[in-house]
Amino acid sequence: MKAQLGVAALTVAVLGCRDAATSPTAQRLTPSLTVAQDVQRVEIEETDVFPVPRGCTGEPVEWHLRQESILHERIDANGGFHGTFTFHDKGSYGVGLVTGAMYHLAQTQNESFNVGPSGLPINDTAVFLRRFISQGSLPNFRVTNIFHFTIDANGTMTSFRNTSERVCD
């Protein structure tokens, strides 16, 4: 019995001193391929003049744009390229150059894309929402765009959609 206990203690001591990275369990769990990731964040602050689209007021507006874009990119273990792009407003506003009317601009853009290791297949989907919001009795205006395409591994476009809705309310 003492001999069996001695062997068990010696086994525990030897196994306890092994390098965890070279143990059979660790070797099975170690990935053989790598993944590369990158995140880019860009703050945008600028002033520009463009009208609230015709059909609503058509008035030229001086816009003070405060926005942020975030791009997440990833190259997978097989060489495929994947990413998401988010663009959102951080308090943009405008002043009508004719009426002095105040506007807020609220917008978001979300896009995701995937490209296979050889450049194919490819798919991309983007959704844009822009709201020009009057701070008075003038009408609001909103624009929604949805864009999507898929190209299969043979280079054939199998899906395409491009819609736009413009509403003055």
Domain housing 142: 33-168
| Amino acid at the residue 38 | D
Asked if 25 and 41 sit in the same domain, the reply is no
Asked if 138 and 79 sit in the same domain, the reply is yes
Asked if 162 and 82 sit in the same domain, the reply is yes
Answer yes or no: is pLDDT of 127 > 90: yes
Answer yes or no: is pLDDT of 147 > 50: yes
Asked if 112 and 64 sit in the same domain, the reply is yes
Interior/surface letters 143-161, b for 16+ CB within 10 angstroms, e for the rest = eeeeebbbbeeeeeeeeee
The closest of 66, 67, 37, 62 to 51, measured between CA atoms, is: 62
Asked if 25 and 40 sit in the same domain, the reply is no
| Amino acid at the residue 66 | R
Asked if 15 and 88 sit in the same domain, the reply is no
Asked if 62 and 48 sit in the same domain, the reply is yes
Condensed to tens digits (0 to 9), the pLDDT of residues 45-96 reads 999 998 876 667 778 889 999 999 999 999 999 999 999 999 999 999 999 8
The count of domains in the chain is 2
Asked if 25 and 87 sit in the same domain, the reply is no
Asked if 26 and 37 sit in the same domain, the reply is no
The closest of 103, 72, 74, 73 to 89, measured between CA atoms, is: 103
Asked if 37 and 26 sit in the same domain, the reply is no
Asked if 108 and 67 sit in the same domain, the reply is yes
Residues 105 and 93 sit within 8 Å (Cβ to Cβ): yes
Who contacts 152 (Cβ-Cβ below 8 Å, separation ≥6)? Answer: 120, 121, 158
Asked if 124 and 58 sit in the same domain, the reply is yes
pTM as predicted: 0.69
Answer yes or no: is pLDDT of 35 > 50: yes
Question: If you average pLDDT over every residue of the chain, what do you get?
Answer: 82
Cis previous bond, 60, omega within 30: no
